[in-house]
Amino acid sequence: IATLNVNGLRDNTKREHFINYILAKDIDICFIQETHITNLNDVNKFKKSWEGKCYFSFGGHHSRGVGIIFRKHLDIKITKYKYDNNGRILSLELYINNEKYKLINIYAPNRESDR
């Protein structure tokens, strides 16, 4: 399990480098922040490169956005999928290989007053 601030995944070259890094490091579950993924079209582009399952809370073109991605060999079944409208929170309740988990990815604002 890993967590990474990717500072944008909309660029094809950057997305490919990120995916190659995850695969090379044998990371099964990755929490990602600052995806800059804004809509389902962006998600579909990501899915063309990533063979596993992926879930996102949409951010802006130049900020925010969080996701949780899973390698394809994991047997996962999502029972709850919650996210906020600001691309800062993503919560999944799921079973991985028949064990129950709750995964939460939070990307807090930089300014303390906004937290």
Binding residues for Mg(2+): 5, 34
Q: Which residues define the annotated binding site?
A: 5, 34
Inter-axis angle of helices 40-49 and 12-24, nearest 10: 50
**Interatomic CA distance for residues 10 and 59, integer angstroms:** 12
